[in-house]
Amino acid sequence: MEIIVGTNSPVKQRVFWKGGIAKADALPTVKFYDITEDPAVAPSINPVTVLHTQTAEEIDTDYGVYSVYPPLSLTGRPRSLKLVWEYRVEGQLVTKEHKIFVVTPYADLTQAADALGFGFDQSDPNYRTFSDLVAAERYARKLIENYTGQQFHLYDDINVVYSTGADVLPLPQKINQLHELYLNDQLLVDTINNINNLSMPVSISESGFGLKVDRSNALDNVVYYANGMIPPSINDSARGIFINGGTYRVAGRYGWQNVPDEVELACIELMKDFFSKDKEWRNKYIKSIQTFDWQFQYDTSAFSGTGNNYADQLLLPYVTNKMVVI
């Protein structure tokens, strides 16, 4: 389940017992844990520490269903939460787990509603619920990520890449902050603990899709220059610092600090598609239908893109190479 960052949408749990829906003996207790894998957070995250405990509410209109509202203090930034439900049915203890992902939307829901002409008053003929808009944004966000091969928010990840023997190590995803760099199982750089076994600075390339080294500040340069000699790192510039064929593991914070304007516009455009009456047909890549003999014409976008030409054009500069290397 996903929750938009900065909100506290309800998390629901239905009680099943002996093959049917039942009521718990008493209101369930729910414990919240942070299971985000983020080494840069200080103090470090402990996934077994209970952050919050809440008593669930019974939903009177839905038999056997209970809900909790995550506190805003836990949804203020993207993270992964685990909810552990405990309750008893006929005296027997039942434990259930939920994983909740607090996510950054690619379009502000209020601004998207205004752009699409939707209202929040139930008397408005274009009325849409908050849940409707959340579902539409998620639909658009997943299409965008699938088409571009990118995620336009910050997240921690590990990429394994292979060097071609240069001073730049290309990455398949945009990196925002380097945490750890390994060559095979050998630690080269750990920015969190200020470890650098390369003896030269490692920085993020201008595009954000790679790491680069600066030979001019290498430790051996200082030593060799002090003795009036030419440093081998400069004399042997044809050989890259990232050795040819080397397997590098790059742990860091990937993604985008802010959602680009084009991505936000594409998100709103795709949210409009979500609400369109012909969505069910377009989801099957049907471009047109004729009656009587039932002639179907399929859209060539079935094999590429988001299904929306305008959105595709907005997103085109952000499409990455999706080639898989084994």
Tokens 């630690």 -> residue: 187
Minimum mean pLDDT range among 12-26, 50-64, 82-96, 190-204: 190-204
Of 7-11, 211-215, 269-273, least confident by mean pLDDT is 211-215
Q: How many residues does the chain have?
A: 326
More confident residue, 293 or 100: 100
Structural contact between residues 83 and 30, judged by C-beta atoms closer than 8 angstroms: yes
Residue 276, pLDDT score: 85
Place 326 in a pLDDT band, splitting at 50, 70 and 90. very low
Tell me the mean pLDDT in the region 84-103: 96
Average pLDDT, the chain: 86
> What percent of the chain is predicted at pLDDT more than 70?
81
Residue 148 has pLDDT above 90, yes or no: yes
Report pLDDT for 217. 58
pLDDT in the model for residue 295? 60
State yes or no: pLDDT of 325 exceeds 70: no
Question: What is the secondary structure of 73-124 as a DSSP string?
Answer: GGSSSSEEEEEEEEEEETTEEEEEEEEEEEE--SS-HHHHHHHHT-BSSTTS
pLDDT given at position 290: 62
- Of the pLDDT bands very low, low, confident and very high (cuts 50, 70, 90), residue 75 is very high
Banded pLDDT at 97 (limits 50, 70, 90):
very high
Q: What's the rounded mean pLDDT across residues 303-307?
A: 77
pLDDT tens, residue by residue, 218-247? 555 555 555 555 455 544 445 678 888 899
State how far the Cα of 228 lies from the Cα of 79, in Å rounded to an integer. 53
Asked whether the predicted pLDDT for residue 308 surpasses 50, the reply is yes
pLDDT tens per residue, range 34-52: 998 777 666 678 889 999 9
d(CA 225, CA 216): 11
Predicted pLDDT at 324? 43
If we measure between CA atoms, which residue out of 7, 19, 196, 206 comes closest to residue 110?
A: 7
Among the listed residues 133, 54, 128, the one whose alpha carbon sits nearest the alpha carbon of residue 98: 54
Mean pLDDT within 169-184: 93
**Confidence (pTM):** 0.80
Distance in angstroms (rounded) separating the CA atoms of residues 291 and 71: 53
Report d(CA 124, CA 228) in Å as an integer. Answer: 81
State pLDDT tens for residues 246-303.
Answer: 999 999 999 999 999 999 999 999 999 999 866 555 555 566 566 666 665 665 655 5
Question: Whose CA is closest to 128, among 274, 9, 260?
Answer: 274
